[in-house]
Amino acid sequence: MRSVSKPVPMRPTRASEPLRGALVEWAERLGLFIAWAATIAMFGLITPETFFTWANFSTILGSQAVLVVLTLGLLVPLTAGDYDLSMASVLTLSSMIIAVLNVNHQIPIGIAVGVALAVGLLTGFLNGFFILYFRIHSLIVTLGIGTFLHGITLWISDSMTISGISAALVNAVIVWRFLGVPLEFYYAMAVCIAIWYVFSYTAMGRRVLFVGRGREVARLSGIHVDRVRWGALITSGFLSSLAGVLYAGTTGAADPSSGLTYLLPAFAAAFLGSTSIEPGRFNPWGATVAVYFLVTGITGLSILGVRTFVQDLFYGGALVVAVALSQIVRGREERPQ
């Protein structure tokens, strides 16, 4: 009898494996964009007359510039392997310095802004000094410095909100618009592009990335690790004070405590952004998209009538999930092939 051969099951060819890997990689890179687009579509379908309007989107884009700049400032020391918990206090103190000098002492707004930015640079310098010369963990130093700065803010403001900041700053930040979006959004995008360029195309940015990957290896490779970390902390201080300038221009006033509410959202956006665009690495575009993804969800829920506590739930939950996802991504990136 003639034997009948059984059909051999088809197996994926080796040629299909690179294609599948490429699709998975792009899905991972664009995952946050996809989630943001899905969030917009969902709330747009539920409340199209309110959510799906240009006025709402221009408000979302313009109102989050302060958080975007603060998050971008946080990315720099995070990339170098350090944490900066003082950034929200720097933001608050910088905005209060502008208010005290400009409103209470009639100092021109340009000088007041310059002093505020100088305070941010000084704070970054002090953070680096205590961390690097006394070899104290960055969490402890920046938490202590941030608490100290908060005390200074309460002292110079008498624990009161100061309003009436010069219209010149308010106009340049929130009143003047391009395509219906306040100029502060474009300032934030300029900072994002600058950090992206430094990280992607300059030797200085590569050194920061290398130090964050492994300090001892970077040191053996001839990189001045302490200098790189110090520069990252100074950059964080400067950008935090710049966020304070935008905050003062956005509100036309300075509150001695409201800036502290930006700390948790900044960390949530930074870690969530590290799971997209360039997975496993803190990156400016991922962080920026993460900010707008989170605020889009909060805005949509607010339009639906959800009470204000949803913001804390959203940011707190997002931080935990983002850190977990970033650890998974980092572990996969570091696993030998």
pLDDT digits (tens, 9 = 90+) for 224-266: 999 999 999 999 999 999 999 999 999 999 999 888 889 988 9
Alpha helix ranges (H) inside the chain: 16-29, 31-46, 54-63, 65-79, 87-99, 109-133, 138-157, 167-170, 183-201, 203-213, 215-220, 225-251, 263-273, 284-303, 310-334
Assigned domain for 289 exists:
yes
In a domain, 26, yes or no: no
Of 94-98, 156-160, 277-281, the range with the highest mean pLDDT is: 94-98
Closest by CA to 63, choosing from 305, 317, 299, is 299
Domain containing residue 180: 33-330
Compute the mean pLDDT over every residue in the chain, rounded to the nearest whole number.
86
Could you report the per-residue pLDDT of 193-231, keeping only the tens digit for each? 999 999 999 999 999 999 999 999 999 889 999 999 999
d(CA 248, CA 236): 18
What is the average per-residue pLDDT within 132-153? 95
- CATH code: domain of residue 184: 1.10.3470
pLDDT at 302: 78
Does residue 8 form part of some domain? no
Greatest mean pLDDT among 42-46, 267-271, 318-322 lies in: 267-271
Instruction: Spell out the SS3 assignment of 88-150.
Output: HHHHHHHHHHHHHHHHHCCCCHHHHHHHHHHHHHHHHHHHHHHHHHCCCCHHHHHHHHHHHHH
Q: Quick check: is 27 in a domain?
A: no
Q: Contact, 243 vs 123, CB < 8 A?
A: no
How open is the CA angle 311-86-330, to the nearest 5 degrees?
A: 70
Among 259, 268, 261, CA closest to 286? 268
Is pLDDT of 327 > 70? no
Q: What percent of the chain has pLDDT over 90?
A: 56
CA distance 245 to 91: 8
Question: In this predicted structure, what is the pLDDT of residue 158?
Answer: 92
For 34-71, write each residue's pLDDT tens digit: 888 888 888 888 887 888 788 888 888 888 899 999 99
Report the pLDDT averaged over residues 166-180.
92
Mean pLDDT over 85-113 rounds to 95
User: Phi/psi class of residue 159: alpha, beta or left (left: φ > 0; alpha: ψ in -120 to 50)?
Assistant: left
Q: What per-residue confidence (pLDDT) applies to 336?
A: 45
pLDDT tens digits along 285-295: 999 998 998 88
Report which of residues 143 and 33 the model is more confident about. 143
Is residue 18 assigned to a domain?
no
Predicted confidence band of residue 19 (pLDDT cuts 50, 70, 90): low
Domain membership of residue 17 (yes or no) is no
How many folded domains does the chain comprise? 1
Res 106: pLDDT: 93
Q: Is the pTM of this model over 0.85?
A: yes
Would you state the pLDDT for residue 97? Answer: 96
Please check whether residue 91 is in contact with residue 238, taking contact to mean a CB–CB distance below 8 angstroms: no
Q: Taking CA 175 as the corner, what is the angle to CA 302 and CA 43, rounded to the nearest 5 degrees?
A: 25
- 290 belongs to a structural domain: yes
Instruction: Assess if residue 234 is contained within a domain.
Output: yes
Contact 211, 218 (CB under 8 A): yes
Please tell me which residue, 261 or 334, carries the higher pLDDT value: 261
